[in-house]
Amino acid sequence: MSFVNVLMNNLDVFVSGFRMTLVLFVAGGIFAVVLGFVVGAMRVSPVPIMRAVGTLYVNLVRNTPLTLLFFFFVLGYPKIFPKGTWGSGLSYTQLAILALGLYTATYVAEVVRSGINTIPAGQTEAARALGLTFGQSMTQIVLPQAGRAVVPPMMSILIALLKNTTIAAGFGVFEAGAIRATLSERSEPLLPGLIWVAAIFVALVMVLAWIQRVLERKLEVTR
C-alpha cells in the first residue's frame, strides 16, 4: 500500500507536474511542427538564399545540446532583451517552449525534407508547367503528400520531445522532472515516486503510439 500511497498522498504534485509537462509538449510541439514544415520547405527551395538559411539553422541548432539552448534562453536571452524592451518579460515556461520548439523543429525539418524528396519530381514539374508558384506547389501538392509519408518518424520526434521536457525542471519550470525534488522535500520514498513518474511517461508514450497507428490507418485509406 505504501507504493500506492506515494501517488495518492502527493497527487497534487503529480497532477501539477504532468500538467506543465503536457503544456510544454503541446505548445512546443505545435511550434516545432509549424516551424519545421517551413524550414523543411526552405531546404528544398529553388532560391539559394532560402536553402542557405534553412541549412544554417538546422545545422547550427541541431548540433547544439538542448541543455545549452536552455542556458541561452534562461541566462542570455534576458541580457539581449532587458526588462522593458520588446521581447522581454517572457516567463521561464514560455522560454522553455521556445527552446524546445526551436530545437525540435530542426528534426521536423529534416523529416519533412526527406518526405518531400519522396515525391516524384514530375509532379513539381507539372505544377510549374501549370503556372503554379513554388509556394503554391508546396502547399497544394507536395506537402500534403509528404505529410502522409512522415507520420511514423514525426511521431518518434514528438515522443523525444515529450521526454526532453524534463530538462525544463533544471531551469525553474515545475514539471514532471521536478517531482522527485518535491517528494524529497516531503520526506517521501523516492524509488516509488520515480517509478510512478516513469509509468506515467510510458502511458503517455503509449497514447502517442496509438495516435500514430490511427493516423497511419486513416492515411492509408486516404491514399
pLDDT tens-digit map of 51-79: 999 999 999 999 999 999 988 888 888 77
Look at the domain 2-222 and name its fold. MetI-like fold (1.10.3720)
Q: Which three cell numbers stand for residue 109?
A: 525539418
Question: Does 220 have pLDDT greater than 70?
Answer: no
Task: Please give the Cα distance from 79 to 69 (Å, whole number).
Answer: 15
Interhelix angle for 11-43 vs 48-62, to 10°? 150
Give the pLDDT confidence of 109-162 residue by residue, as tens digits.
999 888 877 777 777 777 777 777 777 777 777 777 777 778 888 889 999 999
- Higher model confidence: residue 190 or residue 161? 161
Is-contact 142 124, C-beta < 8 A?
A: yes
pLDDT at position 37 is 87
Q: How confident is the model at residue 172 (pLDDT cuts 50, 70, 90)?
A: low
Query: Which of 166, 48, 31 shows the shortest CA–CA distance to 109?
Result: 31
Q: How confident is the model at residue 86 (pLDDT cuts 50, 70, 90)?
A: low
Question: Does 197 have pLDDT greater than 80?
Answer: yes
Question: Read out DSSP for 40-91?
Answer: HHHHT-SSHHHHHHHHHHHHHHHTS-HHHHHHIIIIIHHHHS-TTSTT----
Query: What percentage of the chain exceeds 70 in pLDDT?
Result: 93
- Higher model confidence: residue 163 or residue 136? 163
Domain chopping of the chain, boundaries: 2-222
Task: Please give the Cα distance from 94 to 96 (Å, whole number).
Answer: 5
Highest mean pLDDT among 70-79, 91-100, 138-147, 172-181: 91-100
User: Which residue pairs from 81-89 have beta carbons closer than 8 angstroms and sit at least 24 positions apart in sequence?
Assistant: none
Give the pLDDT confidence of 8-61 residue by residue, as tens digits.
888 888 888 899 999 999 999 999 999 998 898 888 888 889 999 999 999 999
At residue 102's C-alpha, the angle toward residues 139 and 171, to 5°, is: 155
pLDDT at position 161 is 94
Give the 3-state secondary structure percentages of the chain, helix then strand then coil, rounded to 5.
Answer: 85, 0, 15
Question: Does 221 have pLDDT greater than 50?
Answer: no
Q: Which three cell numbers stand for residue 147?
A: 505529410
**Residue 156 burial (CB count, 10 A):** 15
The sign of the dihedral angle between the CA atoms of 113, 117, 120, 125 is positive
pLDDT at position 87 is 61
Rounded to two decimals, what is the model's pTM? Answer: 0.84
Question: Does 179 have pLDDT greater than 70?
Answer: yes
